[in-house]
Amino acid sequence: MTIWLEGEKAGESRFFRLWGMEMQVSPELEPLRTRVYIDGYNFYYGCLRGTPYKWLDLLPLFEKHILPSILTTDTQGHPRSSVLLPEPSIKFFTAQIVERVAKATDSVSSQARYHTALRKMHNGRIELVEGYYAVNEMKVKIVDAENPKLPPRECQEILAWKVEEKQSDVNLALHAYHDAVTDAVDQVIIVTNDTDLVPALQMMRVHTSVRIGLVIPTRDHQRTPNTELAKQAHWVRTHITYDELAACQFPRVIPGRKPTTKPESWYAYPDLLQQVLDLAIPVRGSRAAAFKWMEQPNSHLDGQRPIELMETESGARQVLDYIHHWLAQQSLDGE
């Protein structure tokens, strides 16, 4: 895994590869009190969109995977361990999707379920800070199809919808800066690749001794860290791996007076899942009972759980084939 650590001169970096590297931390030094600040929009589009990992539990991702992968030093250059502050450990900056511009019919309800899961699961260790989406009509210039190099002032003007997230980046900057100047933290971890955060990080470097870590929300180097943003950090984590995302999923159902359930459209193959449910529900009696069956090891599927097989297309079709075979056998037995 590649981590950038700040070099001896401001703005310079060097590469450290930490596979198998034993981090020697002085036992008498207190761990750096750390809080994570996540740009939810940037995180979704960089890490989660188009994956089956949207039902992501952020706390173990950072506490058990990202933080242990970092060799952190203090202002004197001493190696230091890091510990997430208890309440909150993570501040997640987001905005509620506007139904009339959502791409899917269940986008609003799915996001609401996820936000509920984040609030319920860890007793206050994850705090949601909400901005909002503004949807406005505005005049825009369109690129000339016949002459793409035509300057904007000479292009046709049309009326279009502009959907813009408001306040999230400002909220993140203010929360991180406030926590730094009030000595609430020793280290901030900023999860974004948005250059709008550069001025806030610059001010933290000037006015505080807080260590700044930057995690680029991208999977396996799909985006490179923004140079201006990375220059302000003491260390940079360049990506998050598929394995880390897969290892940090919420349970399908989060208990409570009103249980919170993973949206079915967030599974790897929702269409195949629906076919399985359409066949299993009449047999098991309810959707909940069908899922309960899917979560049990099945001797006819080599001891595997159907719900885990649903993570691949071939596995999902194996489950479908088994159900079709079982139903056909039941029909024959009943004749």
The domain segmentation of the chain, as residue ranges, is: 2-131+166-247, 267-334
- The pLDDT assigned to 80 comes to 86
The pair of structure tokens assigned to 27 is 């036992």
Task: Please tell me which residue, 269 or 329, carries the higher pLDDT value.
Answer: 269
Q: What is the mean pLDDT of residues 83-88?
A: 94
3-class secondary-structure state, position 88:
coil
Please list the alpha-helical segments (H only) found in the chain. 40-43, 58-60, 107-121, 168-181, 198-207, 227-231, 242-247, 270-284, 287-294, 306-309, 313-334
The owner of tokens 């009449």 is 282
pLDDT higher than 80, residue 121: yes
Which of 13-17, 165-169, 258-262 is the least confident region?
13-17
Mean pLDDT, the chain, whole residue set: 89
pLDDT higher than 50, residue 19: no
For the domain covering 2-131+166-247, report its CATH number.
3.40.50.1010
- The pLDDT assigned to 172 comes to 98
3-class secondary-structure state, position 34:
strand
User: Is 92:40 a contact under the CB 8 Å cutoff?
Assistant: yes
pLDDT higher than 90, residue 151: yes
pLDDT higher than 90, residue 175: yes
Q: How many other CB atoms are there within 10 angstroms of residue 31's CB atom?
A: 15
